[in-house]
Amino acid sequence: MSANNKSQKSEICKSAESILGSEVYAENVDFWNRAWGPVKTAYTQMPDLPYLTLMMSELASKAPASVLDLGCGSGWLSILLARNGFEVTGVDVAEQAINLANDWAKQESHTINFQVKDMAQLEFAPSTFEACVANSIFEHFPIELTRTIFKQLKTIMAPNGVFIGCFDQVGTGPGEYYKLEDETHVYTDKGRKGMLLRCYSDEELVQIMTDSGFKITHKETFESGTRYIVAIQKSAS
- pLDDT band for position 37 (50/70/90)? very high
DSSP summary character for residue 133:
E
Evaluate if residue 135 carries a pLDDT over 60. yes
- pLDDT band for position 15 (50/70/90)? confident
pLDDT at residue 79 in the model: 98
Total tally of structural domains belonging to the chain: 1
Distance CA 115, CA 58 (A): 25
- Please report, for the domain that includes residue 18, its CATH number: 3.40.50.150
By CB neighbour count within 10 A (0-12 exposed, 13-18 middle, 19+ buried), where does 86 fall? Answer: buried
Evaluate if residue 2 carries a pLDDT over 90. no
Distance CA 139, CA 120 (A): 13
Query: What range does the domain containing 53 cover?
Result: 3-233
**Which residues sit opposite 90 in a β-bridge?**
69, 114
pLDDT tens per residue across span 138-166: 999 999 999 999 999 999 999 999 999 99
Evaluate if residue 200 carries a pLDDT over 70. yes
* The model's pTM: 0.93
pLDDT at residue 3 in the model: 42
